[in-house]
Amino acid sequence: MKIVVLAGGLSTERDVSLASGAGICKTLIERGHQAFLLDVYLGFPYDADKLEEVFTLPNAGLEIAEGIKETEPDLAAIKASREDQSDCFVGPNVVEICRLADIVFMGLHGDVGENGKLQATFDILGIKYTGPNYLGSALAMDKGIAKQIFKMSGVPTPLGTALKKVNKDQTLTELGLKLPVVVKPCSGGSSIGVYIVDSEEEYRDALEKSFCYEDEVVVEPYIKGREFAVGIIDGKALPVIEIIPKTGFFDYANKYQSGCTEEICPAQIDDAIAKKMQLATELAFKSLKLDVYSRADFLLDENGEIYCLEMNTLPGMTSASLLPKEAKAAGIEYGELCELIIKKSLERYNASVEECL
């Protein structure tokens, strides 16, 4: 098949996305596909009459992936590097190249890419893509909305509330919370802009910093506990994985820098707790109207209670990412995982056609 692996973009998770995309692209080529790694924002300036050639170019676009740095990407520099200096999120020839593909493998993380906007655009344009549909993506990306849906659906999740920038002067007491709390952007990812605070001064500082990323944040009680994740494919949960950072919590550096975190899969926890997490993952997946695949993040507190923090609709696919490790524990190797995601995504379109017949 001709497959565009779409990555990059303008989110704080740009570097992670490019690394995920490179891994996906390489394994698809190894498995006999004509794959091309494409930056959704910078695009691919090329002769419009020769775009079919991109699927046979010797480098397959892999030169755009330089690995994940310890710090967030300089998005201003990325914008300045775009040749046409357009303010359009979709770069030169992106739509045209995606139209030529049999399917677009969504390797994007954060912001546009996970919030459903690009999925909705592709639906309108008739471009097939991997991963969850636009509605599920939009619901899951907004942590405030997802939290409300979890509560209504019986998915265990921390109490808390969404706070808009215009209301940032509200006290914790007015929000029905008390220290310590966690402050995080409502639609962020990779733990960027997430702060655990123990004092009023730290809380105010965390708000200011989180509001630099977007105009709405989530404030919720800090829950001390062990960190876990549960991937899900086609509605069925994968084995539970435990994440053990050597220092602090599972933040940006611990997620993507080698040697910072230990992962154990299957997690060494009571079978009943593992099953409870898997069932909660499947319920969260269904309640958010997701399809194809995703990954849920959990905390397990000292009393044995589980809390679903969020659903990641396009989880990382780097060598250090959790989903490929969970899939391997279930007997699914990396290349098989990539092809399984493509297969399940295409089945969605086939099912839609059959329903109309």
pLDDT tens over the chain, length 357 residues: 999 999 999 988 899 899 999 999 999 999 999 999 999 999 999 999 999 999 999 999 999 997 777 777 889 999 999 989 999 999 999 999 999 999 999 999 988 899 999 999 999 999 999 999 999 999 999 999 999 999 999 999 999 899 999 999 999 999 999 999 999 988 765 466 789 999 999 999 999 998 888 889 999 999 999 999 999 999 999 999 999 987 655 444 544 555 668 999 999 999 999 999 999 999 999 999 999 999 999 999 999 999 999 999 999 998 789 999 999 999 999 999 999 999 999 999 987 545 544
pLDDT of residue 189: 52
Q: Are residues 79 and 91 in the same domain?
A: yes
pLDDT of residue 4: 98
pLDDT of residue 250: 47
Residue 15 counted as domain residue: yes
Task: Domain count for the chain, please give it.
Answer: 3
* CATH assignment at residue 94: 3.40.50.20
Q: Are residues 234 and 326 in the same domain?
A: yes
Range of the structural domain that residue 111 is part of: 2-129
Q: Are residues 167 and 258 in the same domain?
A: no
What is d(CA 7, CA 183) in angstroms, rounded to the nearest whole number?
A: 28
Residue 137 counted as domain residue: no
3-state secondary structure of 239: strand
* CATH assignment at residue 260: 3.30.470.20
Q: Are residues 213 and 258 in the same domain?
A: no
* Triad 196, 259, 141: Cα angle to 5°: 45
Residue 298 counted as domain residue: yes
Residue 260 counted as domain residue: yes
């017949």: which residue's tokens?
Answer: 357
pLDDT of residue 111: 82
Q: Are residues 208 and 302 in the same domain?
A: no
Q: Are residues 238 and 217 in the same domain?
A: no
Residue 143 counted as domain residue: no
Q: Are residues 253 and 204 in the same domain?
A: no
309 contacts 212 by C-beta, under 8 angstroms: no
Q: Are residues 17 and 125 in the same domain?
A: yes
Q: Are residues 74 and 125 in the same domain?
A: yes
Residue 40 counted as domain residue: yes
Residue 25 counted as domain residue: yes
Q: Are residues 6 and 125 in the same domain?
A: yes
Q: Are residues 176 and 103 in the same domain?
A: no
What is d(CA 29, CA 34) in angstroms, rounded to the nearest whole number?
A: 6
Q: Are residues 249 and 328 in the same domain?
A: yes
Nearest Cα to Cα of residue 344 among 292, 271, 296: 292
Residue 98 counted as domain residue: yes
